[in-house]
Amino acid sequence: MFQRWKDSITPTDIVMWMIGGSMLLMIVWGSVATLVEGKYTGRHWVDFVIFGLAQGSIYALIATGYTMVYGVLRMINFAHGEVFMSGPFTAYYAAAAMYRTDFLDNHPFMALMVIFLVAMSVSTTIAFFLEKVAYRPLRGAPRLIPLITAIGASFFLQYLFRGLYGSGVQAYPVIKVLEGQWMIFGIRILKFQVVVILAAILLMVGLYSFIMLTRVGKAIRAVSEDKEASALMGINVDGMISTTFVIGGMAAGAAGVLYALMFKQVHFFMGFIPGIKAFTAAVLGGIGNIPGAMLGGIFLGLIESVGPSLFLDGLGIPAPYQLKDAIAFTMLVLVLIFRPTGIMGERLAVKKA
Amino acid sequence: MRRLLTILLVFGIIIGLTAMPAVAADKGVVKIRKGEPVHIAYWFVISGANTSLGMDTVRGCEIAIDDFGGKLKGHPVKLSGQDEMCNPEGGQAASSKIASDPSILAAIGSNCSSAATPGAPILWGAGIPTVSPSNTSPTLTAADRGEEFNGYLRTAHNDTIQGAVGAQFAFNKLKIKRAATVHDGSVYAEQLANVFAKTFKELGGTITAQEAVNAGDTDMRPVLTSISTGKPELLYLPIFIAEGGFITRQSKEVAGMEKVKLMGADGIFSPDFYKAAGEAAVGMYHTSPDFTAFGSGYKKFLTAHKDRYGMAPEAPFHAHSYDATMLILNAIDKVAVQHDDGSLTVDRMKLRDQLYATKDFKGLTGTLNCNENGDCADPRIAVYETNIDNVKKGLMPTTPFWKPY
**Check whether domain B27-156+317-374 has CATH 1.10.10.10, yes or no:** no
Closest CA to A124 of A242, A253, A256, A266: A253
User: Which of left, alpha, beta for B85 (phi over 0: left; psi -120 to 50: alpha)?
Assistant: left
pLDDT digits (tens, 9 = 90+) for A18-64: 888 888 898 888 888 888 888 888 888 888 899 999 999 999 999 99
Residue pair B322/B343 in contact by the 8 Å Cβ criterion: no
Query: For residue range B325-350, what is the model confidence (pLDDT) as tens digits?
Result: 999 999 999 999 999 998 999 999 99
- Domains held by chain A: number: 1
Instruction: Give the residue, B9 or A343, on which the prediction is more confident.
Output: A343
Confidence (pLDDT) at A183: 79
The answer to whether residue B1 scores a pLDDT higher than 80 is: no
Residues in chain A with CB shorter than 8 Å from the CB of B228 are: 44
Q: Rounded to 5 degrees, what are φ and ψ at A91?
A: -65, -20
CB-CB neighbors (< 8 A) of A322 in chain B: 185, 211-214
**CA of B281 vs chain A CAs: smallest distance (Å):** 13
- Tell me the CATH number at A68: 1.10.3470
Predicted ipTM > 0.95: no
Same topology, domains B27-156+317-374 and B160-289+382-393? Answer is: yes
Q: CATH number of the domain at B160-289+382-393, out of 3.40.1410.10, 3.40.640.10, 3.40.50.2300, 3.40.50.300? A: 3.40.50.2300
Domain extents in chain B: 27-156+317-374, 160-289+382-393
Give the whole-angstrom CA distance, residue A63 versus residue A280. 8
Interface test with A, best of B55, B210, B226 (most A CBs within 10 A): B226
A22 inside domain: no
Q: What is the band of B16 on the pLDDT scale with cuts at 50, 70, 90? A: low
Residue B3 has pLDDT above 90, yes or no: no
Residue in A44, A169, A192 to test binding to B, most B beta-carbons within 10 Å = A169
Is the predicted pLDDT of residue A352 greater than 60, yes or no?
A: no
Question: Quick check: is A268 in a domain?
Answer: yes
Neighbours of A199 (CB within 10 A): 21
Q: Is residue A25 part of a domain?
A: no
Tens digits of residue pLDDT in B225-258: 989 989 999 999 999 888 999 999 999 888 888 8
Question: Which of B159, B200, B177, B181 has the alpha carbon at shortest distance from B244?
Answer: B181
Interval A284-307 mean pLDDT: 90
CA distance B273 to chain A (A): 9
Q: Which residues contact B302 (CB under 8 A, 6 or more apart)?
A: B312, B313
